[in-house]
Amino acid sequence: MNNDATTSGLTFDIQLSADRKTPEERAQLLENPGFGQVFTDHMVTIRYTEGQGWHDAKLEPYGPLALDPATAALHYAQEIFEGLKAYRHPDGSLSSFRPEANAARFNRSAERMAMPALPEDLFTRSIEVLLEHDGDWVPDKEYFSLYLRPFMIATDVGLGVNHPSRSYLFMLIASPVGSYFSGGVQPVTVWLSKDFTRAAPGGTGAAKFAGNYAASFLAQSQAVEKGCDQVVWLDAHEHRWVEEMGGMNLWFVFGSGENAKLRTPPLTGTLLPGITRDSLLTLAPDLGLPVEEEPLSIDEWRRAAESGEMTEVFACGTAAVVTPVGFVKSDEGGFAIGDGEPGPVTMRLREELVGLQTGKRPDEHGWITRFQ
């Protein structure tokens, strides 16, 4: 990456925190950080004003924002976000996995929400600036990483609803995270949700839009009431076609050994186009596992699982990488996937992907961006 401080004509103003954590405090926090609970010393902020474009890029101490109570984002949910990770590779360098794909998706989400695009180099430069100052927060333990959360909110003040905001705030915050599976990889039980839908044609399902999550919590609570870990979203029209699991994309394994093949639902516009999903579409064939992007109905899911034709199911996303699904429940009863334990294809893909991201496997696809 370039090392001068200007990007897209912007220079980052660096305001260092006066009360950074000491190395001892940081080491203590990195012991068992959980997920999204601990934050680094600094954050990036960049402002946008219609007519002026992006301006006032800053690295500043991590801390609360002062917002007018009539700020647009608080009323009309004009907010988008991204999620990616920085890893410490065995040689000590700091890298990220396909950050340009996150930058591109951020701008597709922005477009859907009538928000301004952020130049992609500014997106990656903000990560670089944060890592330059908070790089010591990237853990070096296996399966640990620094979760990066870029986001953008509408900052116009006023309650008018006839047009999108004319000013925005982009921010980047970072949170060291441990392994999602501290006690080993545990398969999840999922609930097929017919009472609620996540996304409808023409809606916002393909955007990483905060409101999609607000709309999902009730269904997730219902899944938990039914004794499940996660909700599975079905299509809005027929409640029959499988779309996603919570905030992750789904994969189905048919057959085993030499004959194993993979299926994932196609991107119809109501699914979030996961970068992990996209990476597996390339990685699985590299490993001799054919993939197809084809719809799966809940009837086929049950039939194939019960006949043994479907051998494994897993979900994928940045936070948990690959999560096996062991059991499925719905109004019509439940069924197991295989013996309910994580299967060999699931675990193989998980190891490959983690190996690539953490620099233990060669980067054959140019997916790694090295920051330091």
Ligand X SMILES: *Cc1c(COP(=O)(O)O)cnc(C)c1O
- Shortest distance (Å) from residue 339 CB to ligand X: 27
Residue with token string 């004959």 = 259
* Of residues 178 and 274, the one with the C-beta less far from ligand X: 274
Residue with token string 């897993």 = 314
Q: What is the dihedral of CA 201, 215, 334, 296, to 10 degrees?
A: 20
* Of residues 54 and 233, the one with the C-beta less far from ligand X: 233
Site residues for ligand X per CB under 6 A? 83, 208, 244, 247-249, 272, 274-277, 317-318
- Shortest distance (Å) from residue 1 CB to ligand X: 21
* Of residues 54 and 252, the one with the C-beta less far from ligand X: 252
- Shortest distance (Å) from residue 217 CB to ligand X: 13
Task: Give helix then strand counts, H and E, for the chain.
Answer: 9, 20
Give the Cα separation of 9 and 5 in Å (integer).
10
Phi-psi map region of 257: left, alpha, beta (phi>0 left; psi -120 to 50 alpha): left
| Degrees, nearest 5: CA angle 135-136-138 | 70
* Of residues 205 and 343, the one with the C-beta less far from ligand X: 205
Contact 216, 232 (CB under 8 A): no
Strands 310-317 and 321-330: antiparallel
Contact 222, 234 (CB under 8 A): no
- Shortest distance (Å) from residue 344 CB to ligand X: 22
* Of residues 139 and 274, the one with the C-beta less far from ligand X: 274
* Of residues 333 and 366, the one with the C-beta less far from ligand X: 366
SS3 13: strand
- Shortest distance (Å) from residue 118 CB to ligand X: 17
